[in-house]
């Protein structure tokens, strides 16, 4: 199930992808996510905090609705950042 099914607009995804091409921004996001576990990514409050922090780094103003859509998407993916298959699956969604 793709991110669009959660109401996340392709335009937002494209803007974020473009911003992540900046090495400084990419490094800040990498630092933000460096110690995140699969348990963190199943905790609604922690995911919401990560989404807010990432939005600040990316200079993206997210509405409450957009934020909720992203949080719901992340929770539904059941991401394990230490599982290469999970990371490849995510990579494929956003190529």
| Number of independent structural domains in the chain | 1
Domain with 63, as residue range(s), is 3-93
CA atoms within 13 A on the CB side of 63: 7
Buried b (16+ CB within 10 A) or exposed e, 45-80: ebbbebbeebbebbeeebeeebebbbbebbbebebe
pLDDT band at 87 (very low <50, low <70, confident <90, very high): confident
pTM of the model: 0.89
Encode pLDDT of 10-69 as tens digits.
999 999 999 999 999 999 999 999 999 999 999 999 999 999 999 999 999 999 999 999
Overall average pLDDT of the 68-84 stretch: 93
Q: Look at residue 1 and tell me whether its pLDDT is greater than 60.
A: no
């Amino acid at each position: 199930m793709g991110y669009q099914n959660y109401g996340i607009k392709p335009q937002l995804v494209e803007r974020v992808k473009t911003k992540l091409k900046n090495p400084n921004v990419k490094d800040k996001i990498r630092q933000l996510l460096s110690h995140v576990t699969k348990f963190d990514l199943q905790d609604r409050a922690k995911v919401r905090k990560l989404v807010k922090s990432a939005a600040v780094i990316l200079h993206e103003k997210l509405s409450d609705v957009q934020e909720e859509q992203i949080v719901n998407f992340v929770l539904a993916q059941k991401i394990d950042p230490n599982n290469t298959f999970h990371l490849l699956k995510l990579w494929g969604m956003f190529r």
